[in-house]
Structure 1
Amino acid sequence: MDNGSETLISYALEGDLALIGLNRPAKRNAVSDRVVEALHTAVERAQQEAKAAVIFGEGVHFCAGLDLAEHMEKPLIGAVMGSRRWHRIFDGIERGGIPFVVALQGAVVGGGFELAAACHIRVADKTAFFGLPEGQRGIFVGGGGSVRIARLIGSQRMGDMMLTGRTVAPDQMEVWGGVSYVVPEGEALEKAKVLARQAASNAPMSNYAIINALPRIRDMSSEDGLFVESLMSSLTSATPEAEERLRAFLEKRTARLKAPDSE
């Protein structure tokens, strides 16, 4: 990353994990085209160097959404092309080569919510609040939220948030399906790292199948989805790593699953 990108996005490796931070805390980590391009560089790097990644926001807030000052200066065609670029970059997270876990605190608003929705696992602490104020701003979501967020929480709930400007607490968002885990204040990043390390320990082919096949199967008819499931099941099972992991389980060299509350 060039020096300009480094001021917008932080990047570090911790073993098999890439840590990618939105680094505009004074701007509540508002996202602009430059931020998204810097994020793209970091995401591409992570997919070369790591087995899983964590995206987080530096400071009090994860991301307060679109940088409106930049957005207002765009001509109409520039806004359309910029939105399509965001789509491609966020798609590279959702359907890339490694799992992405996102740690959320404070504002998770507009484009910040759209970015979070592109990740595979969402962890929110108790300070997080979710909002889609596009209706009040006279605009519409442009970073893929009409597809990703609507599929997470339902188009009616998303429409409610956009029409009324309501904000939603993390516990309610968990009930709706917008986040996977809710943790105490200040613990989202550490929990995200734990989950990312668990994902990084999986067979890479299994992870690739999970993050790439599932969203495509969701978009297929039931019969087409079941056919693709059979193909992916066979392909992943045929790898040497799968054979070794299955043998280790049968020989009781790996632990069995336990009930959630068991020691």
Structure 2
Amino acid sequence: MDISPSLVTYALQEDIALIGLNRPAKRNAISDRVVEALHLAVERAQTEAKAAVLHGTGTHFCAGLDLAEHVEKPLIAAVQGSRRWHRIFDGIERGGIPFVVALQGAVVGGGFELAAAAHVRVADETAFFGLPEGTRGIFVGGGGSVRIARLIGAQRMGDMMLTGRTVAPVQMEQWGGVSYVVPAGQALEKAIELAKAAAQNAPMSNYAILNALPRIRDMSSEDGLFVESLMSSLTSVTPEATERLRAFLEKRVAKLEAPK
């Protein structure tokens, strides 16, 4: 099935896949067709890119679930739809390449859940974060109760859901929900810059970071430390790791410096 550019755009910029939600008139609300188009784009990116950037066209990233579609669903279809979101978003979080998300305007409900599935979040100064499910009489269904709660804490997430408050990007950065805050209009540029940096890493290191870290987080401390030892050993014996370590020892690459 081809990706529908009327719902999700896809472009390859060198080895970076650019995936854009493309319903600006609906503030990029996510319908069933959108999530399936997103799935196709994510799967394609895994096969031909070394990193990917998620973004929204227009002035908003994503206002969340398409409520007009959701309100008509029978109970079983709603459950199945939520589980479909889980599987597709999990393909982002625990796939084979890093995903950086550029955020502007509304990052609300399911849009926040989608952003939480990415590995690095960049918000510009126009972004605002909301979880209005409590005021809508519903509950998060795209993985937010796990991903967002782990980013900012269950108490803060519960506050947002109970009160319907919105949160500015600087506050969200302090809470741990985003990693970078940039001037208005610069989120996509910064996200691409970060994706290019991640794409330079050894593929096995990136794979371990994406897939081992979230699993270690879910383990006991002792089990996590054991898996860490295995992953540390596996990544260090690859030919690429050997060459990169040798380059560092031979001073062919620069040492880390303090941030400017």
TM-score, length-normalised on structure 1? Answer: 0.98
CA distance in 2, matches of 1:120, 1:2: 26
Letter in 2 for 1:253: R
Residue in structure 2 matched with residue 43 of structure 1 by the alignment: 42
Query: 5 Å matches for 1:1-263?
Result: 1-2=1-2, 5-261=4-260
Q: Which one-letter code corresponds to 2:105 in the other structure?
A: G
Q: Structure 2 CA distance, aligned partners of 1:18 and 1:170? A: 25
- 1:29-56 per-position Cα deviation (integer Å, ceiling 9, x unaligned): 0001110000000000000000000000
Q: Is the partner of 2:102 in helix, strand or coil?
A: strand
Gapped regions of structure 2 (runs ≥ 5): none
Give the Å deviation of 1:232.
0.1
In the alignment, residue 243 of structure 1 is paired with which amino acid?
A: T
CA–CA distance in structure 2, aligned partners of residues 181 and 169 of structure 1: 13
Distance 1:168 1:238 in 2: 44
Look up the equivalent residue of 1:142 and give its one-letter code: G
Paired residue secondary structure (2:5): helix
User: In the comparison of the two structures, how many residue pairs are matched?
Assistant: 260
SS of aligned partner of 1:54: strand
| Aligned-residue CA RMSD (Å) | 0.6
Deviation at residue 2 of structure 1 after TM alignment: 3.0
Write the letter of the residue equivalent to 2:2.
Answer: D
What per-residue deviation string (whole Å, max 9, x for no partner) do you get for residues 84-111 of structure 1? Answer: 0000000000000000000000000000
Aligned partners of 2:13, 2:175: CA distance in 1, in Å? Answer: 32
Q: Deviations over 1:116-151 (max 9, x none)?
A: 000000000000000000001000000000000000
The amino acid that maps onto 2:67 is: L
List per-residue Cα deviations over 1:211-262 (Å, max 9, x = no partner).
100000000000000000000000000100000000000001111100001x
Runs of 4+ in 1 over 6 A off after TM superposition: none
Counterparts of 1:211 and 1:260, CA distance in 2:
25
Gaps of 5+ in 1: none
Q: Secondary structure at the match of 1:230?
A: helix
Give, as a single letter, the amino acid of the residue that structure 2 aligns with 1:11: Y
Q: TM-score, normalised by structure 2?
A: 0.99
